Chain A
């Protein structure tokens, strides 16, 4: 078991708890940087999705996990960022100003949507944001001079300051860079008064107010910052998906983001990344299993001469091919997480870590009292 001996207040402020902590993170950074050299393009492409979803996750985590405001319309912000970036690129604006403009536009729309948030909470706010996303989707399909409507809008590969990020490898590093920056900036906010004000608003608005937090301003900041991150993610998303159409940015995508933060674990940045890994990698995992289960079961059946195995394998394969299975599995996992682990994958991660760091002293009841729900989940 490891004990921390604190000798200065800075120890509670710095990014990494201690040397061991920093060591683990540098190991992780090394692994992530080395990944494109070891994996095929297909897997590098899938890992890029983790980073883009990671930025979306941090965005929604700020709003739902830290400020306690529920949004069912975040796909609209993603869409605004994506379309704005694609449009500006088409007008011949260089990459960096184009992204800055796209983020600025998304931030402004976030502020506008944030206005009703000053008066609404819980389910009412969720419905308001949902309405916003439906309206925006309609704008995407009707404003054909900018978005090309349902004909779709191709997005060229990114070229930044003359450097081409056309292949999977370089684009992977680009997304990784932005996720790292976003995590750093958000962590900075969370360890300073703004982040604490968000947490205070989530847990008790009346006390936050009495301690000097201007609710209107900090809720607006949360909405604007969350939208800005979504706009950035949207710009990367546009390149990744290469072809924009209005029916990408539906309520289903918004719900997927919400699922991401809940499964990942509300109220932690780790949770945003864990959730992104889950949401980005589950569909390809299902695709792989769909093909590999029947094949391996067939091989086993041939080797052991048991026909039933082949039948089971084919059955599982056929089941996974059915439409809607992916959504069903997502839904099932969401229900199980809420029932069994309200703090999500991050909560489970903390428990496993405590188990090893206190081994063999860990007791089953250690986390008994922590099975409480965040306020935002209860929809006050």
Chain B
């Protein structure tokens, strides 16, 4: 049985079928990429998976659990983390606070023990801090640890968001356009990190991406969408040369 299965997923906004019968499987330990022209429904699929939208049809099964009706705040505890296309960091907090918040799904304290800051809470905070420091080391963010996000440049914010997603200890990582707004060099770094996340941390990656060089460099399989419908699925080379895909991008 596959690690993450999307079966016949659909959602309508009024009369618009944003996602229309999409089916795909993601195997454990692979990098699976969804491509498609603007408005193809890529980010909508992410919002469906992270449960921000309720699908009008179809099922989502993650690691043997049906998550089609799970509340959005329970997704992180199940092991699914995501980044956002237009960075959604907590701007008026430090980078460290942003990453510590990602440990929220793993907290064991209750309100009253936190009110008195009992030794158990301090112990838990130290453990969270250790987990966060691993992500900081992994992505080379040491120098920005105490900076407020508002004061950080775009490229660093993008990496911070990746770090925040890693801090939740995910099994499946959803990356929504990891290279958007990054320059060539930063995009190359991003490609290395995605490979490291897969190879060193063993995290399965589901990604939406436009930059075909990044897609070809890191993806095991690619799914092309247009108008909410799947066009083609296969290796990056296969999908890129598929006649339907070429027509969706170039017209004709």
Whether the pair B104, A212 counts as a contact (CB closer than 8 A) is yes
A188 touches B (CB below 8 Å) = yes
A192 touches B (CB below 8 Å) = yes
Whether the pair B52, A211 counts as a contact (CB closer than 8 A) is no
In the assembled complex, the CB of B192 is this many whole angstroms from the nearest CB of chain A, namely 25
Whether the pair B102, A211 counts as a contact (CB closer than 8 A) is yes
> Out of A9, A188, A207, A214, which one reaches B84, CB within 8 Å?
A207
> Out of A193, A210, A214, A374, which one reaches B50, CB within 8 Å?
A210
Complex interface: chain B residues within 8 A of A211 (CB): 76, 81, 101-102, 104-105, 164, 168
Question: For the complex, what is the distance from the CA of A207 to the CA of B157, rounded to whole Å?
Answer: 14
A215 touches B (CB below 8 Å) = yes
> Out of A188, A203, A212, which one reaches B90, CB within 8 Å?
A203
B72-90: CB near A (< 8 Å → 1, else 0) gives: 1111110001101000111
Question: For the complex, what is the distance from the CA of A374 to the CA of B90, rounded to whole Å?
Answer: 11
Interface residues on A, range: 35 or more
Whether the pair B168, A212 counts as a contact (CB closer than 8 A) is yes
A338-380: CB near B (< 8 Å → 1, else 0) gives: 0000000000000000000000000000000110101100000
> Out of A12, A213, A215, A374, which one reaches B92, CB within 8 Å?
A374
Whether the pair B52, A193 counts as a contact (CB closer than 8 A) is no
In the assembled complex, the CB of B75 is this many whole angstroms from the nearest CB of chain A, namely 7
Question: For the complex, what is the distance from the CA of A200 to the CA of B105, rounded to whole Å?
Answer: 13
Question: Closest residue of chain B to A373, judged by CB?
Answer: B92
Question: For the complex, what is the distance from the CA of A375 to the CA of B121, rounded to whole Å?
Answer: 29
In the assembled complex, the CB of A103 is this many whole angstroms from the nearest CB of chain B, namely 13
B116-141: CB near A (< 8 Å → 1, else 0) gives: 11000110011001100100000000
> Out of B82, B125, B129, which one reaches A210, CB within 8 Å?
B82
B162 touches A (CB below 8 Å) = no
B91 touches A (CB below 8 Å) = yes
Question: For the complex, what is the distance from the CA of A358 to the CA of B117, rounded to whole Å?
Answer: 33
A240 touches B (CB below 8 Å) = no
Complex interface: chain B residues within 8 A of A209 (CB): 52, 72-73
A316 touches B (CB below 8 Å) = no
In the assembled complex, the CB of B155 is this many whole angstroms from the nearest CB of chain A, namely 16
Complex interface: chain A residues within 8 A of B100 (CB): 196
In the assembled complex, the CB of A48 is this many whole angstroms from the nearest CB of chain B, namely 25
Given A13-B126, A210-B76, A196–B104 Cβ distance below 8 Å? yes
Whether the pair A196, B73 counts as a contact (CB closer than 8 A) is no
A307 touches B (CB below 8 Å) = no
Whether the pair B76, A203 counts as a contact (CB closer than 8 A) is no
Question: For the complex, what is the distance from the CA of A189 to the CA of B93, rounded to whole Å?
Answer: 15
In the assembled complex, the CB of A111 is this many whole angstroms from the nearest CB of chain B, namely 13
Question: For the complex, what is the distance from the CA of A304 to the CA of B76, rounded to whole Å?
Answer: 77
Whether the pair A192, B109 counts as a contact (CB closer than 8 A) is yes
Total residues of chain B contacting the partner, CB 8 A = 44
Whether the pair A192, B90 counts as a contact (CB closer than 8 A) is no
> Out of B96, B101, B122, B129, which one reaches A200, CB within 8 Å?
B101
Complex interface: chain B residues within 8 A of A208 (CB): 90, 101
Whether the pair A200, B77 counts as a contact (CB closer than 8 A) is no
Whether the pair A199, B104 counts as a contact (CB closer than 8 A) is no
Question: For the complex, what is the distance from the CA of A153 to the CA of B75, rounded to whole Å?
Answer: 53
Complex interface: chain A residues within 8 A of B164 (CB): 211
Whether the pair B90, A189 counts as a contact (CB closer than 8 A) is no
Question: For the complex, what is the distance from the CA of A213 to the CA of B76, rounded to whole Å?
Answer: 9
Question: For the complex, what is the distance from the CA of A209 to the CA of B50, rounded to whole Å?
Answer: 9
Whether the pair B104, A213 counts as a contact (CB closer than 8 A) is yes
Complex interface: chain B residues within 8 A of A213 (CB): 73, 101, 104
Whether the pair A185, B115 counts as a contact (CB closer than 8 A) is yes
Question: Closest residue of chain A to B164, judged by CB?
Answer: A211
A204 touches B (CB below 8 Å) = yes
30 contacts between A and B (CB under 8 A): A9-B133, A10-B126, A13-B125, A188-B116, A188-B117, A189-B111, A192-B109, A192-B121, A193-B101, A196-B93, A200-B101, A200-B104, A204-B88, A206-B88, A207-B89, A207-B90, A208-B90, A208-B101, A209-B52, A209-B72, A210-B76, A210-B81, A211-B105, A212-B73, A212-B74, A212-B104, A213-B73, A213-B101, A372-B150, A375-B92
Given A10-B126, A204-B89, A212-B105; 5 other pairs, CB 8 A cutoff: A9-B130, A12-B96, A13-B125, A189-B114, A374-B92
Which chain A residues have a beta carbon within 8 Å of chain B's beta carbons?
Answer: 9-10, 12-13, 185, 188-189, 191-194, 196-197, 199-200, 202-204, 206-215, 221, 267, 369-370, 372, 374-375
